[in-house]
Amino acid sequence: MRWDFASVFDNTDALLVGAAGTLRIFAICLVLGLSLGLIVGLGRYSRNRWLHIPATIFVEFFRNTPVLVQILWFYFALPILLPFQISPLAAASLGISLNSAAFSAEIYRGGIQSIETGQWDGARALGMRWGQAMRRIILPQALKRMLPALTNRAIEIFKMSTLASAVAYVELLQQGKLIASLNYNPIEAYTAVAVIFFVFLWPLVQFSYFLERRLRRDE
């Protein structure tokens, strides 16, 4: 057995296109997933049942169905039910974002609940509205506690982006498959894909450590 990465390097362009695709879907799902997660998390935190119950249904539904099934469903089933086509990017983004929203919602809820009621008292005693207290007092403190868990979510989203290859969205794994099938070099192709993922994710994790340290400057 001989390792020959030449066939991979010959396809650098394809991998670059794949990397761009991965970064694009990662950025979309990170923003959509974590911001929708905050909204759902606030719903889960709310004592108003008209907010709490729908948020709970959302979380339970998307936590307990596989992302891959959701992506396939959005891509193949939804266009049968609705009169429009859906792109591979849109289908995959929907599946990954909704799943991430469900998981991050629980992180937000837990983070917000972990803040002492005295902080609410302090904020309300100054005359703050609920939203002001949440934005200025509660969320900044909660965010600090949630950061490790949210970083895990971000890493998870990055890796879940490979599921988009199931609907032929052009991302790293999809391009790896392509290279492997054209050159009959699965060992090198998939090793290269794995290494590229590591090269992207490792700095991301280091950045989150830096953020954690920065947020701890008030201690």
Pick the binder of another protein from 7, 56, 141, 208 (CB under 8 A).
141
Instruction: Check residue 52 for interaction with another protein (CB under 8 A).
Output: no
Q: CB under 8 A: which stretch of 97-105, 121-129, 175-183, 203-211 binds another protein?
A: 121-129
Go through the chain and tell me how many residues it has: 219
Identify which of residues 54 and 122 has a Cβ nearer to another protein in the complex. Answer: 122
Q: Do residues 63 and 103 touch, judged by C-beta distance below 8 A?
A: yes
CB of residue 129 to another protein, shortest distance in Å = 6
Token pair for residue 5?
A: 């990465």
Pick the binder of another protein from 119, 151, 183, 208 (CB under 8 A).
119
CA-nearest of 153, 182, 150, 177 to 165 is 177
> How far apart are the C-alpha atoms of 3 and 186, rounded to whole Å?
11
Q: Is 177 exposed, middle or buried (0-12, 13-18, 19+ CB in 10 A)?
A: middle
Instruction: Check residue 145 for interaction with another protein (CB under 8 A).
Output: no
Instruction: Check residue 126 for interaction with another protein (CB under 8 A).
Output: yes
Instruction: Check residue 144 for interaction with another protein (CB under 8 A).
Output: yes
> How far apart are the C-alpha atoms of 219 and 217, rounded to whole Å?
5
CB of residue 120 to another protein, shortest distance in Å = 9
**Residues in touch with another protein (CB under 8 A):** 118-119, 121-130, 132, 136-137, 140-141, 144, 217-219
